[in-house]
C-alpha cells in the first residue's frame, strides 16, 4: 500500500475514534458507489453525519481543510443523497462535516472538526 494511502487510512481511524469518544455512533465507513466514496457515516443523536476526513503529515502544503473545494462539497452532497437512497435513513436530519487530522502517526494527533460544511 502506498504511503499516502496508509496515512489516509490512519487519519480516518483517528477521526472515527475521536468522533466516537464524543458520542457519535459509527454506521458505515468507506462506502463506495460509482460516483465516489464517503469516508465516515455516523449518527450524532438524531442527525445523520457524513464526515469527510482530510489527513496531512504537516501543514507544509496547506491546511487539510483547504482540500475541500466547492466541487468536492457538491460531490459530498450527491454521495450523501446516494447513501440515503440506498440505506434509507428515515426522517433523520443530514449534515456534512469535515475532519482534519495532522500528525496522525504521533501519540497525540491534532484533530479539528467543522460541522455543516456543505
Which tens digits make up the pLDDT trace of 29-59?
Answer: 999 999 999 999 999 999 999 999 999 988 8
Range of the domain at 30: 3-114
| Whether the model pTM is above 0.75 | yes
Residue-level pLDDT at 107: 87
Sign of dihedral through CA atoms 68, 69, 70, 74?
negative
Query: What's the structural domain count of the chain?
Result: 1
Strands (E) in the chain, as ranges, are 25-33, 36-44, 47-56, 93-102, 110-114
Residue-level pLDDT at 1: 67
What CATH number corresponds to the domain at position 31?
Answer: 3.40.1350.10
Starting at the earlier edge strand, list the strands of the sheet with 93-102.
25-33, 36-44, 47-56, 93-102, 110-114
Amino acid at each position: 500500500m502506498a504511503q499516502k494511502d496508509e496515512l489516509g487510512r490512519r487519519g480516518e481511524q483517528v477521526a472515527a475514534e475521536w468522533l466516537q469518544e464524543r458520542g457519535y455512533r459509527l454506521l458505515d465507513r468507506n462506502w463506495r458507489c460509482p460516483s465516489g466514496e464517503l469516508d465516515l457515516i455516523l449518527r450524532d443523536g438524531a442527525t445523520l453525519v457524513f464526515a469527510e476526513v482530510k489527513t496531512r503529515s504537516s501543514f507544509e502544503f496547506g491546511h487539510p481543510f483547504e482540500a475541500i473545494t466547492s466541487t468536492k462539497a457538491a460531490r459530498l452532497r450527491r454521495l450523501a443523497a446516494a447513501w440515503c437512497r440506498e440505506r434509507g435513513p428515515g426522517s433523520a436530519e443530514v449534515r456534512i462535516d469535515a475532519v482534519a487530522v495532522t500528525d496522525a502517526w504521533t501519540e497525540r494527533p491534532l484533530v479539528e472538526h467543522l460541522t455543516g460544511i456543505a
